[in-house]
Structure 1
Amino acid sequence: MSSRRGRKLKWRLQELAANLQITTILVPVQQAEIDQLHAFRVLAHSEVQAYLEEITEQVLTVTEDRALNGQVLTHAGHHLLVSSSLIPLGNKAQAVNAKFPFYDPMAAQRSVIADSSQLTAAIKRHRRVIKENGGVKAGNVRMLLSPLGYRDSCFAINLMDKLDEFGRERGNVAHGAGAAVTNIPTGSTELKRITDILPGLIRLDQYVPRLLLPVA
């Protein structure tokens, strides 16, 4: 299955590397070159974060449109309803008023046809998650994607570990520790990180069509 968004991400990262003159043979000998590598790391992190948030927003937008204009509940919408209905259980004061979620897809479909307010409220709540998202670590990715129906099997092996490392390394630079670390970055290590995570990121986009199928 193709991924136009994944190809765009790959192209943007390649363009970023070219503009900053990041190559596999770059071994910095001057602070300016270290700064280039750090800039690439921070900007590449921003591209990946935007990519993940764009996937999330597309799923929400299509789900909302199909519910309101076609009276169709997507798999993502069903998962979001269930996830949202479980939120009060995490608060003792609210748990007593929590309602058991519609685990049966067709019951959820009928409920949305009769009243879409719960779904639109859940979508609005999840859009706040996108707005408040602050990175690409495993916790960030799960907050964005798991309520939409992404399961552990959707995530490539070691992807979460690599994203956690990416987030930490970006944080070292963004918070001023990058110039002080003893592990000096090289073009090879920075580009290898991107090469390692790209297939897993593209796989996340390829899963979107399944989540947007109507429940049955």
Structure 2
Amino acid sequence: MACVHFEYLQKRIDALKAKFVQAQLEEENREPLSYIPDTDSLAAFRLLAHAEIEDYLERKATQGLSRIESDFSGGRKAIRECIDILVVALTLIDTLKQMPRLESPHWESDVARTIKHARDSVRENNGIKEYSFARLAVFAGKMPDEIDNALVASLTSYGSSRGDVAHQSAARVTTILAPSAEAKAVDDILKQLEGYFS
């Protein structure tokens, strides 16, 4: 079954391409040697595509946390039956003042506190680069050893290129590519995300 979040992401990227890239793609194909890209449109596409990818990852993480919470409240009370909560807690160790007392008699309140911290972490997320992606992927249900290094590299590179257009005039950005390359970079990330989370 297709992920509703991914379907939405694909629709949004298609709409952004139609609005900011399609006319430029046609022009690039007509005059490949003399074509001069509209850097403002390509910068807008990059910024908005990045925002959609980030939103997708945050929604996947929130969905995963809800599943973990539901598993626990559905009767899975032992760590062995709900190992995901321990992995989430370990992922949050940097942001928690103390490790949840998962072996204590306060297990239920510790799970609730861990899920709350994880949800706060998703709300405060800023970006799609390595650490952000790894944390969101774990919250979505991946184990730390299942993090896809090729996808991490693609997202980190795209996150850095987004920073180029977010912090200076599009006219000064040297990393803006041809419309075909800008569209392909996003399409490649979407293929990787779809494969990773399917």
Fold conserved between structures, TM > 0.5: yes
Task: In structure 2, give the amino acid aligned to 1:15.
Answer: A
Match of 1:5 in 2: 5
- Displacement, 1:198? 1.1
Q: State how 1:36-51 maps to structure 2 within 5 Å.
A: 36-51=41-56
Distance 1:76 1:36 in 2: 50
The partner residue of 1:136 within 106, 128, 144 is 128
TM-score (norm. length: structure 1):
0.72
2:146 equivalent to 1:153:
yes
Task: In structure 2, give the amino acid aligned to 1:9.
Answer: L
Cα distance change of structure 1 residues 75 and 51 upon mapping to structure 2, 3 Å threshold: farther
Note the residue ranges of structure 1 that are not aligned, 5 or more in a row. 103-110, 207-216
Cα distance change of structure 1 residues 87 and 65 upon mapping to structure 2, 3 Å threshold: closer
Cα distance change of structure 1 residues 66 and 101 upon mapping to structure 2, 3 Å threshold: closer
Q: Deviations over 1:40-95 (max 9, x none)?
A: 00000000000000000001112213322x2136989523324526866x69x96x
Q: State how 1:66-105 maps to structure 2 within 5 Å.
A: 66-68=71-73, 70-72=74-76, 77-84=82-89
Distance 1:34 1:99 in 2: 49
- Displacement, 1:144? 1.9
Cα distance change of structure 1 residues 77 and 190 upon mapping to structure 2, 3 Å threshold: farther
Distance 1:87 1:198 in 2: 27
- Displacement, 1:16? 1.1
Distance 2:82 2:185 in 1: 33
Give identity over the alignment, percent: 29
Note the residue ranges of structure 2 that are not aligned, 5 or more in a row. 29-34
Structure of higher RCO (CA pairs closer than 8 Å, 6+ residues apart): 1
Match of 1:214 in 2: none
Equivalenced residue count is: 188
SS at match of 1:185: coil
Distance 1:165 1:149 in 2: 21
Distance 2:162 2:56 in 1: 16
